[in-house]
Structure 1
Amino acid sequence: MIKLMLKFELKKIFSKRINQVLLAAVLVVTIIYSGMAIGSMSYTDEEGQDHTGIEAGRLLAADKNQWKGDLTPETISQVIKEYKELSAKYPDGIPDTEYGKSVQSYYDIYDFVIGIMTPDSEWNESVVYQLSDEQLQDIYTIYQDNMKKMAEEYGTTPEKRSYLESIYEKIEIPLTFEAKDSWDTMTMYAQTYVLLMAVIIGFLVAGIFSGEFRPGTEDVFLAAKYGRSKAIKNKIIAGILVSTVVYWIGVGILSFISFAVMGTSGFFTPYQIDDPYSIYVMTYGEYYLLILVGGYIATMFCAALTMLVTVKMHTPNLAVCIPFFLLCMMPFIARVLPTFDAFFNLLPTVLTNIFNAVRTPILFQIGPFVFRQISFLMFLYIVLFIVLLPFIYRSYSRYGIKKKIKF
């Protein structure tokens, strides 16, 4: 009986023309996004000619992987020395031919050194020219010293300071390098894509309960033997199932197409290559998965909230706006109200904006326990999602009872 009821609910969802149009739009947009990600890759050859398209990603990876391996002080010194020589030779700017011949292959390493030397300031290329040979040989000592300074600066309590120190100790030195441009590119596109998925899934789940509020329908549905129990449970399960399947199939197709073309080089490259002092010690592959999982948690929370509002309002008109407002509008509101940062730092928008969140060392402390912002919010919104489910069930199962008693 339960399986038949669940199949019936799923059939109702996927048989609606509007939902079919939405799912077709998801597929089209997914393919378009994959094409945009692939097309955004750029490779410069030894003649200074730029190449984009299907081959660009793999050509770029092959060029950069000349430096694949441990980033020892000797390797870093070689990179900086070569770049300084080229800069001295071409004071008006390194030409595209030289960029394609050598600079392109090691520019990420060059950028990493600048990141080490500017721990809490804007990116400043001039610091490279101030580095002596001795400093380059001690680059990781400088890096570790700066980690201690960062821990002291952002560790506003002894517990936070100790926590940051323990996090920085997890960074393995020397770092390893492998071309990670495909993952770097996909983190940007995936972040935008999960926002789109959250909004579309909100439309899908909003109609699960609203269909039963049509005149006459609600009386039949709620008067049925399992109308106020199993039927409602199956609606909730259907909403969770549809949201999960649509989300992961969408991001799965996006990832498969993009990485099949661009390649997967750099999955194990430490994220600290790009942001040396990030408190999220992970590889680029883990970073990409973090974006997808964070987006999924935010999507499921918004889906549950959408179903609850639909039940309360007896219409999906307002509920369908919830994902868009929470995840798309809130970041703009946060920018014009910076004095409320503490509030906005707790909203689900953080989970769909991980690209920026990993760059900011925000910590929360509850008693002696310290948590990083992303991990704390992932746990928080999983709990809130679970808490919302019984509220949805209770609100719909009790619908009409008070009205009948008054009558």
Structure 2
Amino acid sequence: MLDLVRFEFKKLLARRTSQVASAGILVLLCGIMALNVVQTKTESNSGEVLGGTAAIAERKAQIDAHEGVLTSERVQDEIAAYRQLAFSKVDPAEVEGLSDAAAYALMGEAYDTEEFQVICDQYYAYLLSPWKAPGQEPYQTAAQVDDAMVAGFYDAVADELQRALDDGMGGAWTYSDAERAYWTAKEGAVPEPLSYGYAGGWEDVLNCVGFLAFPLVAICVVLTPVFAGEYQDRTDAVLLSSRYGRSKLVAAKIVASLLFAAAYYVLAALVIVGVALAFFGAEGATLPVQVMSLDIPYDLTMAEATFLTLGIGLLMALGFAGLVLLLSSKLRSQVAIFAVCVALVFLTGLIPIGGNGVLLHVLYLFPINALNAQILFSTLVSYQAGPLVVDLAGVLAGLYALVLVACVPAAAIAFRRHQVM
């Protein structure tokens, strides 16, 4: 049996199209991740625009200057100090009614470069985010908060979740009472006070994990001919009439296919994780995922959020492998199989939603949308069946595990029962 699996695995990679697709996607991912590093930009405290590794080092230094536990007392002190600086030369009332562009121009004229860089520091935008209205700069938000509001920092974070539930994904969805209770309980389980610090490498992985949709295409190219190729080459009659053609051979084809899908996905994931952690650093693995955004209602560390996302992607890769095997066992046209897979991977991200919440929930189940950390952790996507509420991560894991478990036996049965022409 092991010899058969080894033979079928080699057979998968023997085709020129498989080699080109597999190598091409990995090269593409390497190029994307290299550009991700090179195109990183930030501004130093002196106003100099830095790029590449210099920008990464500068950003790390800026965040390291604020690392620590965000107690309510610390948040109060730091926002008070921020307000004192931001409104030392400009009256708060002057920026409240302005557009963000006009307020930015006003503050830029009133303060020197070093002061203005401190005022625009993303850390203060992060602290003020629970009160931020759309389109506001941090100093505009600071102009509208007082000491009493700042004292309730974590209450404001909880209220931000309730406002998001009221908003209903931009008006596209109305959360049921059970869904609201689910998300409220989830946010309430996040330990307080939060810790803040640098986790640039892990954040970059989560920002780039969507590129793992590309390996699904390579998996599709490699696995499409597993059964369909036998039909086209007219070798199915020989295989199915052999002693183990309907048993061990079919099992070997499936095992080799799933091994390839898992190994190729892991290799692609290692490219993304390896480059991100090598250049952005592996620090901050144990920091809460809320360092990315305070509106994330998950009790996860950055490393846990990363591995959860990558794990869902692995199940997705295996589920797609099972689906490709089923299509390959049913269809003779390899072009048709490839077209179906590409449509499921990429075209689902191009369908106009138009504020339709039901369609939105359906499209979030496909790779191009599901492999998105913002959607996975911040968008509050949940599915309800009776009293049971499950978030997007849980549904994705269950769905693709089900696809795998359903499609693999179906593919084996379809090929075994195939009537030789």
Tell me the TM-score normalised to structure 1 length.
0.87
- Distance in 2 separating the partners of 1:149 and 1:260: 38
CA RMSD of aligned residues (A): 2.7
- Distance in 2 separating the partners of 1:82 and 1:150: 29
Q: Secondary structure at the match of 2:378?
A: coil
How do 1:221-260 residues align onto structure 2 when only pairs under 5 Å count? 221-260=239-278
Determine the structure 1 residue equivalent to 2:57.
58
2:143 to 116, 129, 133: 129
Q: Evaluate the alpha carbon distance shift between residue 46 and residue 247 of structure 1 in structure 2; reply closer, same or farther with a 3 A threshold.
A: same
Letter in structure 1 aligned against 2:303: G
Q: Evaluate the alpha carbon distance shift between residue 268 and residue 322 of structure 1 in structure 2; reply closer, same or farther with a 3 A threshold.
A: farther
- Distance in 2 separating the partners of 1:315 and 1:337: 37
Q: Evaluate the alpha carbon distance shift between residue 333 and residue 116 of structure 1 in structure 2; reply closer, same or farther with a 3 A threshold.
A: same
CA contact (8 A) 2:288 2:301 kept: yes
- Distance in 1 separating the partners of 2:269 and 2:371: 14
Determine the structure 2 residue equivalent to 1:324.
342
Q: CA deviation at 1:31?
A: 1.9
Which shifted more, 339-348 or 68-77?
Answer: 339-348
Q: Please say if 1:195 is aligned against 2:213.
A: yes
Determine the structure 2 residue equivalent to 1:24.
23
Determine the structure 1 residue equivalent to 2:409.
390
Aligned length: 395
Determine the structure 2 residue equivalent to 1:107.
122
Q: CA deviation at 1:329?
A: 0.6
Q: Deviations over 1:316-338 (max 9, x none)?
A: 11111233211211121143583
CA contact (8 A) 1:44 1:99 kept: no
Which shifted more, 199-208 or 161-170?
Answer: 161-170
Letter in structure 1 aligned against 2:392: Q
Q: Evaluate the alpha carbon distance shift between residue 213 and residue 339 of structure 1 in structure 2; reply closer, same or farther with a 3 A threshold.
A: same
Q: CA deviation at 1:225?
A: 0.6
Q: Evaluate the alpha carbon distance shift between residue 62 and residue 342 of structure 1 in structure 2; reply closer, same or farther with a 3 A threshold.
A: closer
Percent sequence identity is 21
Letter in structure 1 aligned against 2:208: Y
Q: Deviations over 1:55-109 (max 9, x none)?
A: 4323321221111111123332343334434443473326654455x457x523x
Where does the alignment leave 5 or more consecutive residues of structure 2 unmatched?
91-105, 169-173
CA contact (8 A) 2:4 2:252 kept: yes
1:174 to 184, 189, 193: 193
Q: CA deviation at 1:346?
A: 6.2
Q: CA deviation at 1:174?
A: 1.5
Letter in structure 2 aligned against 1:376: V
- Distance in 1 separating the partners of 2:237 and 2:331: 17
Determine the structure 2 residue equivalent to 1:92.
107
Determine the structure 2 residue equivalent to 1:77.
76
Letter in structure 2 aligned against 1:196: F
Q: Please say if 1:117 is aligned against 2:131.
A: yes
Determine the structure 1 residue equivalent to 2:95.
none
- Distance in 1 separating the partners of 2:192 and 2:234: 69
Q: Evaluate the alpha carbon distance shift between residue 139 and residue 346 of structure 1 in structure 2; reply closer, same or farther with a 3 A threshold.
A: closer
Q: CA deviation at 1:219?
A: 1.2
Q: Evaluate the alpha carbon distance shift between residue 257 and residue 156 of structure 1 in structure 2; reply closer, same or farther with a 3 A threshold.
A: closer
Letter in structure 2 aligned against 1:368: P
CA contact (8 A) 2:41 2:55 kept: yes
CA contact (8 A) 1:308 1:392 kept: yes
Where does the alignment leave 5 or more consecutive residues of structure 1 unmatched?
none
Q: CA deviation at 1:391?
A: 0.4
Determine the structure 2 residue equivalent to 1:338.
356
Q: CA deviation at 1:261?
A: 1.7
Q: Evaluate the alpha carbon distance shift between residue 58 and residue 264 of structure 1 in structure 2; reply closer, same or farther with a 3 A threshold.
A: farther
Letter in structure 2 aligned against 1:189: C
CA contact (8 A) 1:83 1:103 kept: yes
CA contact (8 A) 1:202 1:303 kept: yes
Q: CA deviation at 1:152?
A: 7.7
Q: Secondary structure at the match of 2:65?
A: helix
Letter in structure 2 aligned against 1:262: F
Q: Secondary structure at the match of 1:131?
A: coil
Tell me the TM-score normalised to structure 2 length.
0.84
Q: Secondary structure at the match of 1:317?
A: helix
- Distance in 2 separating the partners of 1:54 and 1:149: 38
Q: CA deviation at 1:156?
A: 4.4
